Amino acid sequence: MNKKGFTLVELLAVIVILAIIALIATPIIIGVVNDARKESAKRSVEGYAKALESSYYLKLVTAPDETVDIKSVTPDYTGAEVTCSGELTINDNKIKLSGCKVAGFDGTFNYENGRATEA
């Protein structure tokens, strides 16, 4: 007898194997995507803080009596807005921010010593 094609049992076995692989891979992929989003948000806060630092140093040279406003909203490179509702403190010419949020990411960050950390 000349047999061509696959049997139903063979096709079901392949489908079951693929489903098991998908069940294992899906949480891993979701975790990687969430970690990437968090790192992207951290970098956005760091970029925002560095822009504030630059503004601070510029105003220190050009208009030392003015203050730096952290309530302003600045879009990052992705177009997401970065806002900081906490305090801006400057010690030894180092900026410290708290309560920073990035639009599109559900989390709050603080910035100190050149690094953003989760609040």
Condensed to tens digits (0 to 9), the pLDDT of residues 54-112 reads 877 777 788 777 666 665 566 666 677 888 887 777 777 778 888 888 888 888 999 98
For position 21, what pLDDT does the model report? 97
What is the β-pairing status of strands 115-118 and 81-84?
Answer: unpaired
Q: Which residues of 92-119 are buried (b: 16+ CB within 10 A; e: fewer)?
A: eeebebbebbbeebeebbbbeeeebeee
CB atoms within 10 A of CB 46: 19
pTM beyond 0.75: the answer is no
Calculate mean pLDDT across residues 20-47.
93
Which two structure tokens, joined as six digits, stand for 96?
A: 């410290």
Confidence of residue 23 (pLDDT cuts 50, 70, 90): very high
Contacts of 77 (CB under 8 A, 6+ apart): 44, 47
